[in-house]
Amino acid sequence: MMSRRYCPPEGHIIQAFTFALDPTPEQAAQIARFFGARRKAFNWTLDQIKTDLEH
Q: Indicate whether 39 belongs to any domain.
A: yes
- C-alpha 38/C-alpha 48 separation (Å) is 15
Q: Looking at residues 18-34, what average pLDDT do you find? A: 94
pLDDT classification of 25: cutoffs 50, 70, 90? very high
Q: Indicate whether 54 belongs to any domain.
A: yes
- C-alpha 40/C-alpha 37 separation (Å) is 5
pLDDT of residue 4: 81
Q: Output helix, strand, coil percentages for the chain, rounded to the nearest 5.
A: 55, 0, 45
Q: Indicate whether 2 belongs to any domain.
A: no
Q: Looking at residues 40-50, what average pLDDT do you find? A: 95
Q: Indicate whether 42 belongs to any domain.
A: yes
Distance linking the first and last C-alpha atoms of the chain = 29
Q: Indicate whether 13 belongs to any domain.
A: no
pLDDT of residue 5: 86
Range of the structural domain that residue 44 is part of: 24-55
Number of domains in the chain: 1
